[in-house]
Structure 1
Amino acid sequence: MSGFLRIGFVPEHFSTPLHFAQKHYALPDSLVPFPSGTGHMVQALRAGEIDVGVGLTEGWVAALGKAQASKNPSPSDAGFKVVGTYVETPLCWAISTGVKRELSSVKELYGRRIGVSRIGSGSYVMGFVLADQQGWLDPSSSPQPFEVVPLNTFERLREGVNNSTADFFMWEHFTSKRYYDNESIKRIGEIYTPWSSWKIVARTPLLSSPELQNFLESVNKGIRYFEANQEEAVKYISTELDYSEKDARDWLKTVRFAQNVTGVDKGVIEKTVEVLSKAGVLGSGVEVESMIGVERSEAVKWI
């Protein structure tokens, strides 16, 4: 195996340390953007199109749990595992509708159409977490709390709620905020993940490879640079990405990246499985151990 890895990532503000790792530390790996998010990266991992993914905790765990249920390719291997923790803080999902739509509160969303990027993506999974929090999930009843409408991209989600293809959608707060400010969409609520928000996964054959360990250390360097050079981060986010300078500065006050990205806390995965099972995204009998490729401990344990 060569030292070259293909790294899937979402080209948003959270990717800034990856950009710095590539720019300032000559990260040799290829960064492959996935604007439609974690669900698309799951497909790419399974197709062998990327080797590593940096995405949302709930998207990875939902995909791993569903693979276990289908026993494909095997009960204990979905083709990839969680190997790292990228962001320690939870994610704020803004809940949006069309700017001229009459919807004005979360309580009006029951039975409506939710726009999602893909089935199994974070925007899909968090819809069911919202439904659980609102008491809309009835295990004894078959109807779903809303109709799911896959629309692939953030742009199409915004279009969808304005042309009534969907009634609402959920996306990260600061990525959505520019479109509230220019009155393209309307905010009607928010929900926070009950877990740390971003994890790193890798294809199973790479788990013990030096290439993966080198990549994780490069991310650590990128994070350290990010923390020491906040003004450069603000300039990059506000000129190269779709954010205002004020929103970039506000976001910096809310986010905390991992000091060492290698490994994942088993308790975080257990909590995620617990909430997703309660929300009806996952069934019973999910094996947390088989989802983890590298577990955090006093000395990192490579499984």
Structure 2
Amino acid sequence: MTALKIAGVPEHFNLPWHLCIEQGKFAGVGLDVEWTDVPEGTGKLCQMLRDGSTDIAVILTEGIIKDIAAGNESKIVQVYVGSPLIWGIHVAAGPNHRSLQDLQDGKVAISRYGSGSHLMAIVNAKQQGWDTTALRFEVINTLDGAVEALSTGKADYFMWERFMTKPIVDAGVFRRVGDCPTPWPCFVIAVRNEVLETHADEIGTLLDSINQMTTGFKDLPDIDHILAERYNQQTEDIREWLKLTEWSQKTLDSNTFEKVQDQLFELKIIEKKAAFETAAG
């Protein structure tokens, strides 16, 4: 058995990985897969790839491309979710910040620098015509931290995946004032170069297994109810999310890679670009 450590966010996108583990799909092909939930998100996942505490990360596309350009010795081996991520723009429920335009001078809650919540706040600001260099940030680490920061006024708004935050909106804690979909596939699978060099065949076997699961994932019996129960969602919300979400079994193409890099470079999120050949394949 080859042991592989995988990390990702504790969100509904990643249920296929858990099902593969629980149903023995990986063990059946000689892989001992250990999954770690990382509620802090992409910034922490990049750190884990760098320090070797995970071998593989299921990670936001823009976040890992940024970190590879900054020297993370990992490679994107495949697109995992090919549809955009719909980032909800959230404020504390209450009389303030009635619209997106009210947030131009507000402080943004982010899980950490380099995270999706950080990068997409800059993307959103550019789309709104705001001065991206004037953005101010409050690091809150997790979704619970965001609730505390918005509720106490430490930050004015927070961007996170729309459906995972909907229970907080439904509970009257957050209000969503807008959406900001990513203009690219949202999740990719990244592997440390060292692991790729020593376990290339095993990584291929792992991808075959997860791709078999994601190909038929939407057709699994009662998958809407299973997702709703596991991730504290309303079944009707899960059904809407499933309609909008498409898993991928394809590698990342150079055009998409350059599109993301060009956007990050234009926004001054990265200072130099990485070569596609060293970053993906």
Residue of 25, 36, 61 corresponding to 2:65: 61
2: CA distance, partners of 1:282 / 1:101: 37
1:214 and 2:201 are equivalent in the alignment: no
1: CA distance, partners of 2:270 / 2:176: 28
2: CA distance, partners of 1:267 / 1:277: 15
2:167 equivalent in structure 1: 178
Residue 101 of structure 1 deviates from its aligned partner by: 4.9
Residue 23 of structure 1 deviates from its aligned partner by: 2.5
2: CA distance, partners of 1:219 / 1:106: 38
Amino acid at match of 1:214: T
Residue of 252, 264, 267 corresponding to 1:264: 252
Moved more, 212-221 or 164-173: 212-221
Q: Is the 8 A contact 1:269 1:288 kept in 2?
A: no
- 1:133 partner SS: helix
1: CA distance, partners of 2:101 / 2:161: 20
1:241 equivalent in structure 2: 231
> Cα distance 1:167–1:101, how it changes in 2: closer, same or farther (>3 A)?
farther
2:280 equivalent in structure 1: 293
Residue of 154, 160, 166 corresponding to 2:149: 160
Amino acid at match of 1:35: P
- 1:95 partner SS: strand
Residue 279 of structure 1 deviates from its aligned partner by: 1.9
Q: Is the 8 A contact 1:91 1:197 kept in 2?
A: yes
Where does structure 2 lack aligned partners over 5 or more consecutive residues?
Answer: 27-31
1:75 equivalent in structure 2: none
2: CA distance, partners of 1:128 / 1:101: 25
- 1:96 partner SS: strand
Q: Is the 8 A contact 1:54 1:200 kept in 2?
A: yes
1:280 equivalent in structure 2: 268
**CA displacement 1:240-279 (0-9 Å, x = unmatched):** 2121211111111110111x24x21111111101111222
Amino acid at match of 1:252: L
- 2:120 partner SS: helix
Query: Kindly, what percent of the aligned residue pairs are identical?
Result: 29
Q: Is the 8 A contact 2:92 2:174 kept in 1?
A: yes
> Cα distance 1:235–1:291, how it changes in 2: closer, same or farther (>3 A)?
farther
Where does structure 1 lack aligned partners over 5 or more consecutive residues?
Answer: 68-77, 139-143, 295-303
Residue 288 of structure 1 deviates from its aligned partner by: 3.4
2: CA distance, partners of 1:62 / 1:6: 22
Q: Which runs of 4+ in 1 moved over 6 A?
A: none
C-alpha RMSD over aligned residues: 1.6
Amino acid at match of 1:241: Y
1: CA distance, partners of 2:277 / 2:98: 42
**CA displacement 1:36-55 (0-9 Å, x = unmatched):** 21111111111110000001
Residue 291 of structure 1 deviates from its aligned partner by: 4.7
The TM-score with structure 2 as length reference comes to 0.92
Moved more, 103-112 or 8-17: 103-112
Moved more, 87-96 or 105-114: 105-114
- The structure in which a higher percent of residues are helix is 2
Q: Is the 8 A contact 1:8 1:31 kept in 2?
A: yes
Amino acid at match of 2:235: E
1:23 and 2:10 are equivalent in the alignment: no
Moved more, 110-119 or 22-31: 22-31
